[in-house]
Chains A and B, each alone.
Chain A
Amino acid sequence: MGIKDALLKAYDVHYKKFMVFSFLLLLVCIISLGVSYARTGELFQKGVSLKGGITMTIPVDQSVDIHSLESSLSSRYPSADIGVREITEAGVSTAIIVEASDISVEDLQSALPELGIALEEGKYSIESMGSSLGQRFFSQTIKSLIYAFIFMAIVVFLTFRSIIPSSFVILAAVSDIISTLAVINLLGMKMSTAGIAALLMLIGYSVDTDILLTTKVLKRKGEGGTVFQRTASALRTGLTMTITALVASIIGLIFTQSDIIRQIMTITTIGLIFDIIYTWFQNAGILRWYMERKNGN
């Protein structure tokens, strides 16, 4: 109990420092995204499902040198944008994924067997999408992300009927998404439509701890206790929530075989970690500061 109490005490005494830390973190993430945007013109790297191209999933029974495969494919088709990834299940590779833009399915189908990747009829999958459709998908998914935010904001405002605490909740969700995007970008992960879906999932996960916190602090003044005591009570519940979600998401990340689920799990894992920071450092801090100022103590 000693460590726990010490941590709680530090959290109580230094909450403003933690709050400043969370804002600095947000600033760093915004700068990182901004730099990448200035350099590439995009907020994140788009996978073929958002820009058009071919995805081939080929099962393999032994480990394949994906880097040499990628470089031989790229040297063979210099104008194409080719990436090779590997799907592993608990460390054992089970399939490779070739993602390529500006190349025809036939070229890819003829090149792979020559590089030692056997293509057995019916055993591998090909997904191919036109680039105009990819562009459209991209702009639509971005739009749906923005709409989702607006709708979420309306629900939050209706829930608390109080503009300032509601905007703290929304700020926390926005910070969470921005920081997650920044990390995805640093990892060089190519976003697919599933990735956008994961960001939407994240809005849900991020907001529910913030709603929990704000409800406890705002709506339960009658329960007595200081703002901090009510925050601490919410903290226990909220951390249990986030940690169970995090554990499930990490397990999914390690053991899944599907590329789609893997991307979703990677994004939720990153996002949930940020959620802890933005809920309990940023939102809790700013809310406490606001409440204490308002109540004049």
Chain B
Amino acid sequence: MEIKRMLTNFRVIILLICLVLGLFAINPRPWNEGVAIKSIARNSSAELGGFENPKANLAPMARERIIAMNNKPVVDLEDYFALTSKLEPNQTVQIKTNKGSYRLVAKPKFLVTELNETEIIFVNETVEVNETINGTLVLFNKTITRELEQPKILTEIIGIEPLGFSVDNAPKSNLRKGLDLQGGTRVLLKPAEEVSSETMSLMIDSLKERLNVYGLGDIVVTEVSDSPAFLGGGNRFILVEIAGATEDEVRDLLGKQGKFEARIGNASVFKGGNDVTYVCRTAQCSGLDPNRGCGQSQEGWGCSFMFSITLSPEAAQRQADLTDNLFVSGDTLSEQLVLYLDDQEVDRLSIAADLKGRAVTDIAITGGGQGASEQAAMEDALKNMKRLQTILITGSLPVKINVERIDNISPTLGKEFLSNAVYVGLFALLAVAIVLMLVYRKVVIAFPIIFTAISEIFLTLAMAALIGWNIDLAAIAGIILAIGTGVNDQVVITDEAIRRESDDAYNWKERIKRAFFIIFSAYLTIVVAMLPLLFAGAGLLKGFAITTILAVTIGVLITRPAYAAIVQMLLEK
């Protein structure tokens, strides 16, 4: 009877409907299996096999999940890595996802080594020849075979290239964990000078592109400002968030303006971006420089890398014009081609004498890396190469940017924080329930208070899932604050309801109305106190402010009225 009356109350019905809707928004699937695809690398086996890069703002549960590979089930990351490690070069891989089936071919990974010996190869070449045929001189194409001597190259297959998936364990719900709970890197960048909105969005696009080219898909790049737009905008920042473990060089990549320039003397030959039409990134034409290799110096080891690029015809012509003025000294020209990245010299190359005045479009870019051991120097050289290739492809940012803040949060620490926060929350709720039972000496009062508090947490999380808001530590703090004020409000309502027994001067409606007067005033003070925080600290406290406002609003509009109705019925008997 009591229950039935409660369930038919208008305010309780609204709360129940919201809870059901919230369940759909969060969409919990605790037994979800497989690995979710976060991003697909370009030109990888995965992309060639038909996978598409998922959008960054996709709801977690909407992500495609790999559930089987070569007919073996993939339950979690461990399965995925175990299965991929067993793949053979050129093997066909059958991948089953929750959306369909795909066939990929595992690309072999080559190690190209230039040997210290030469070999003779035969090359077919087409040449134009004049020949007299039947008394007429005609010009026609003839294929001849030429002998060439070149360094012997050893190409070995040393395993497979990565399939190109960036994966994570299957999401269990639509809740998104913020960076400090799931681990990752957050970089706050500030343009070195005032920029217009157009320039800002150009820079954001270019940084995104840079990270994508580098091989990261699951990234968020946004503009943040520490003052609202209607107050003039204040300082503008670019916030980059990369989930999961991140390599150091990614951070290097972000802080660089990426102004690449090749100069002869003081004249510019070509710059990164438009002047470069193609950058080779395959093992055939990029890697450690076979001609220079690695060497030991006093400071440690140094290695060189090289990769070939194709210049636009205009840039090639510029190079021809500039080299034309140079003198030949020995095998090389009098001036060198000097490569600069962000106005710092990367490398200088001698120009072969036979390139004087010629418009060559294919040229090699070189550079180096250092390390304490040969291995470390090689890795450093290859890292620098990858960074330079990325910058050459994506071009320079319009203005210099400074790294203002870098947070690198370990995924394991984040996980511990989350489980800890959950149990601290539950423990605190339990303690509050006990206090309330002691105060009211009525066990039955504690239940609706705790039920309302839990509903409020649930609805706030559902709202966050719906609008794609990340739950991070700041958001948890906000939820705690809101639940605290929620319990306070319920105490106000309960006291008004209980006092009714002793004092009959006012009817129930009047009392609840007055309880809500206090509740609304308190609600408004919290909301206005949070408003300035939306903008302070370049938006890093925004999570706290928004979650608090969201949670107290849900409380005042949905759960508090329902609580008042429940308490009324509980006490009326």
Contact = CB atoms under 8 A, between A and B. Distances in A.
Contact of B406 (A126, A155, A249, A261): A126
B410 A251 contact: no
Interface stretch (A4-12, A65-73, A78-86, A233-241): A233-241
Interface residues on A, range: 35 or more
A201 B245 CA distance: 33
Nearest to A127: B407
A140 interface: yes
A122 interface: yes
Nearest to A207: B525
Interface string A146-161: 0111011011100100
Interface stretch (A34-42, A130-138, A286-294): A130-138
B465 interface: no
**Residue of B405, B423, B503, B514 ringed by the most chain A CB atoms within 10 A:** B405
Contact of A194 (B409, B436, B474, B503): B474
Contacts of B407: 125-128
B529 A237 contact: no
A240 B445 CA distance: 13
Contacts of B413: 57, 59, 95, 123-125
Nearest to A146: B532
Contact of B532 (A128, A144, A154, A208): A144
A45 to B, nearest CB: 18
A132 B226 CA distance: 14
Interface in B477-506: 477, 480-481, 483-485, 487-488, 491-492, 495, 499, 503, 505-506
Contact of A251 (B424, B485, B524): B424
A26 interface: no
A24 interface: no
B514 A215 contact: yes
Interface stretch (B380-388, B389-397, B537-545): B537-545
Interface string B511-551: 00010011001101110111111011110110010001000
Contacts of A137: 536-538
Contacts, number: 219
A215 B410 contact: no
Contacts of A143: 532, 536
B480 to A, nearest CB: 7
A89 interface: yes
Interface in A10-46: none
Contact of A241 (B423, B491, B521): B491
Contacts of A147: 531-532
Contact of B491 (A127, A196, A240): A240
B contact patch SS: helix
A264 to B, nearest CB: 5
A205 B484 contact: yes
B403 interface: yes
A133 B532 CA distance: 18
Contacts of B183: 122, 125
A117 to B, nearest CB: 14
B544 A197 contact: yes
Contact of B524 (A155, A220, A261): A155
B416 interface: yes
B235 A136 contact: yes
Given A122-B412, A194-B477, A156 B525 contact: yes
B485 A204 contact: yes
Contact of A240 (B416, B473, B495): B495
Given A240-B439, A247-B432, 15 more contacts: A59-B410, A124-B410, A126-B407, A133-B404, A133-B538, A151-B529, A200-B533, A203-B529, A204-B485, A215-B521, A219-B514, A241-B492, A243-B439, A244-B484, A244-B487
Interface of B: 183, 188, 190, 226, 235, 245, 402-413, 416-417, 420-421, 423-424, 427-429, 431-432, 435-436, 439, 473-474, 476-477, 480-481, 483-485, 487-488, 491-492, 495, 499, 503, 505-506, 514, 517-518, 521-522, 524-526, 528-533, 535-538, 540-541, 544, 548
19 contacts: A59-B410, A125-B408, A127-B405, A127-B407, A130-B403, A133-B190, A137-B538, A155-B521, A155-B528, A156-B521, A193-B541, A211-B518, A215-B518, A237-B492, A240-B439, A244-B435, A251-B424, A251-B427, A258-B417
Interface of A: 57, 59, 89, 94-95, 122-130, 132-133, 136-137, 140-141, 143-145, 147-149, 151-152, 154-156, 159, 193-194, 196-198, 200-201, 203-205, 207-208, 211-212, 215, 219-220, 223-224, 233, 236-237, 240-241, 243-245, 247-249, 251-252, 255-258, 260-261, 264
